[in-house]
Chains A and B, each alone.
Chain A
Amino acid sequence: MSASTETETSPSDRSHRPPFWRDVRIIRIALQVGFLLAVGALLFWLFDNLTVNLRVLGIRRDFGFLDQPTGVPILGSDFRAQSPIRDALLVGLYNILRVAVPGILTALVIGTLVGVGRLSTNWLVRRAAGIYVEVLRNVPPLVMLIFFYIAVLQQLPAQADSITAGPFALLNVRGVYLPSIQLSAGPAPVFFGVLGLALVAAIVLGVLRTRRFDATGQPHRRVPLGVLLFLGIATLGWLALGRPLGLELPVIAGRGVDGGYRMIPEQAAVFIALVLYTSSFIAEIVRGSIQAVAKGQTEASSALGLSGFQRLRFVVLPQALRIATPSAGNEFLNLTKNVSLGVFVAYPELLRIGRQAVGNGFPAPQLLFIVSAGYLALSLAISLVTNLANRRLQLAER
């Protein structure tokens, strides 16, 4: 009863100090020490059990096994079985990013299109986008993943009867083949220099046009002009250097496929399932954020005489972006964590590699610790970036 009323007693008032067992400051410290002791005891008990168990079972307790050979190759990479486990785990980490980074970008694009589509005046577009969202976000991602892997990608025709999309893409039971960017070794670095130069020139042009606009009020058209300048310089450089950058198309050659970028079916399944699932959530975020921008904003910008595109570009979207950032970041985080579902279709991401090593007799506690630490580090990195972006956007408010 009295603890709350005594919080208001002034600490300097020494003559009226209560006895120590009723002094709030001492109670607080005692409570915290007790809590710390309890948590510490629990952790110590768990860790002690671990060491005892490992000793009893004769399992090593250090991380020295990381230098031993893995013993198995890794699907879809030129990793050799003799390489140490350390490297295999790094490949696993790389494979997470190989799905997560393009997955996030694709899901963002699709999600934005679908989210805007849900607000379209076109009945068909609105309905189609609505069905897309309601169907995809209510089915577990693992069901989608297994569906695409077993019922779609594994039922594709064999190499000889590949499904082709013109000369650009190949689709068969061994994977999805897309065009890749081919760099010729010699002039490529020079070409990147030229690209940098073009970018600088475009920015300078943009700044100059903006100044002119500020001074004279004539339309600046900085974006189309800048893009034109950039493309012009880049094309000239590309021709002058003898086409250092080109698309390499996948071609069936004998029993394999030459050139292009190959996605093994496992990777393609994880990628497709996660993009579909996450994009449905992003679509809802985009729709919600646009609707959350106060109606008066749109009305005010109409009153100022802005066109529909200008209203969206200069008034609604900048504010919607600010509302959407935290939730969208959360979805990016979920997508990255969900790459771990790849373990169910044997996509060699970090968990699958660790799980395989456990199966080959390497100690489970250490390996699971490394896998957890890997995923945790990725999660924390993404939420850090999101928080920074969020803070920047929020500060821009005033």
Chain B
Amino acid sequence: MTTTDPATKTSDQVATPPSGGPTGMVWVRENLFPDVWNSLLTLTLGPLLAWGVYALGRFLFVTGRWEIITVNLTTLMVGRFPRDQLFRLWIAIAILAVVIGLAIGVANSVARAAAIESGDDYHRPWHEPIRRFGPPVTLLIVMGVFVRTATPLLLLAAAVALAAVAYRLGRMIPIRRRGQVNLAVILGVICAQLAITGFDGVPRSVWGGLLLTLYFTVGALLFAFPLGVAVALGRRSSLPVVRGTCMVYIEFFRGMPLVVLLFTGWLVLPFFLPPQFPTPDIVTRAMIILVLFTSAYVAEIVRGGLQGLPRGQREAAQALGLSPWKQTRLIILPQALRSVIPALVGQAISLFKDTTLVLAVGLTELLQVARIIPGQEDFRGQGLFAETLIFVSLIYWVGSYWMSRESQRLEAKLGVGER
């Protein structure tokens, strides 16, 4: 599914798979000029592409005025976050590095154990991590070009080192303890937020840039997932009233554009709360809307997984005498969720891209920063929008592309969609 095999193409030319692979002129003739029609295509498309590459390269390396990124890199990362409080952010990053490293380490040892049990050859080439983490590492290198002092790079390297140590530790933790590790991850996320906002810290209303974008992505996913699973179970319930309500919920939130919902949350949500009730701040309101919106999509994905399970699974669980709740929790959900992981990653990518829309309610997430900084005193009237917008596009692109590639890898590993 994920790899395109040139031999299965729909053209009338059935490519003959050569044994050693064609070289030089043979390759050019077979792949660029096999017949008149393809030669024409190559000759028209080739110059066009070459011109495009030239124009882009010229902008990137010659005419582009990238000093606006150098000056504003911190603003792009954190927005109006007070600069003397940045150490809190680094503490949070350190905490997250540890728990993420731990979690990946444990997941890795679980996968290894499963592979050994099923008799598979659990061997990974040494260069696999390099290939897999290529996109984010490239992004970090690009950002490194714009960094003015070495401090952030050193701190980042320290965080990576911490994560590596935690990964090693995680692989030593016995598998039966992985429940406690999950708990540690949740605690770590809470601690990371507390490290920033707690102890006379920085309220979320002045967060911005990439920090806010990631906060919305991760936060909305964490809350939307359990809600979505609950709605999906309700959608499959045998009680008509519950089923109908969940269906209306899903169809409503899937039928509405997110921007309309965000405007509603911003302008109308306060009307639906009692007058004496304190109005939630804008970040909370945006988060609520993102959670409700995403949970409807998660519910639809999980429903697909539930429907894909053979009936025999439920019946076998019943025959074992499990209570309905235990049937769902121990037999049905683990299998259904496992089969929809790739689709859930797809939803995470969507959410990551959709967080751009929170600028509707006046929050300065990454895109809004890129829109504002060309209006700064030093750059006003010079129209440097192309530079800033291309830079943030790169961040979004790397994030989405990397996640989608990882999900394809997962899909291949889980064998979803293969028969």
Contacts and interface: CB of A to CB of B under 8 A. Distances in A.
A368 B264 contact: yes
B46 A364 contact: no
Contact of B396 (A28, A138, A150): A138
Given A123-B31, A368-B260, A372-B256, A147 B401 contact: no
Interface string B1-19: 1001010111111010000
Contacts of A291: 1, 8
A54 B31 CA distance: 69
22 contacts: A31-B239, A49-B275, A56-B275, A119-B11, A121-B34, A121-B38, A122-B38, A125-B38, A138-B400, A139-B396, A140-B353, A140-B356, A151-B389, A307-B12, A308-B10, A338-B257, A340-B260, A341-B257, A358-B267, A368-B264, A372-B260, A379-B256
Contacts of A372: 256, 260, 264
Contact of A139 (B255, B371, B393): B393
Interface string A48-73: 01101110100000000000000000
Contact of A379 (B13, B255, B272): B255
Nearest to A3: B324
A54 B254 CA distance: 28
A341 B263 contact: no
A368 B268 contact: yes
A292 to B, nearest CB: 9
Interface stretch (B190-198, B240-248, B335-343): B240-248
B212 interface: no
B32 A124 contact: yes
Contacts of A343: 259, 263, 360
B230 to A, nearest CB: 13
Given A121-B9, A143-B389, A35 B396 contact: no
B367 A365 contact: no
Name the 4 nearest CB pairs between A and B, nearest first. Answer: A308-B12, A123-B31, A138-B400, A379-B255
Contact of B10 (A138, A141, A298, A339): A298
A143 B9 contact: no
A395 interface: no
A375 B255 contact: yes
Contacts of A207: none
A122 B272 contact: no
Contacts, number: 192
A129 B267 CA distance: 42
Interface string A314-343: 001000000000000000000001111101
Nearest to B273: A49
Interface residues of B, number: 69
A4 interface: yes
A36 B255 contact: no
A205 interface: no
Contacts of A309: 12
A142 interface: yes
Most chain A CB within 10 A, of B8, B267, B318, B404, is at B267
Contacts of A49: 271-275
Interface string B29-71: 0011010001001100110010000000000000000000000
B222 interface: no
A144 B370 CA distance: 13
Interface on chain A toward B: helix, strand, loop, or mixed SS? helix
Contacts of A368: 260, 263-264, 267-268
A140 B259 contact: no
Contacts of B133: none
B147 interface: no
A82 interface: no
Interface in A373-387: 375-376, 379-380, 383
B400 A4 contact: no
A136 B245 CA distance: 37
B100 to A, nearest CB: 23
A364 B240 contact: no
Contact of B367 (A124, A146, A337): A146
B383 interface: yes
Given A138-B401, A147-B389, A50 B15 contact: no
Contacts of A144: 393
A342 B367 CA distance: 15
A235 interface: no
A35 B272 contact: no
Contacts of B323: 1, 3-4
Interface string A142-166: 1110110011000100000000000
B113 to A, nearest CB: 33
A121 B13 contact: yes
A261 B165 CA distance: 64
Contact of B255 (A120, A123, A141, A376): A376
Nearest to A116: B10
Most chain B CB within 10 A, of A36, A137, A340, is at A340
Contact of B11 (A32, A120, A364, A380): A120
A393 interface: no
Contacts of A1: 321, 323
A375 B260 contact: yes
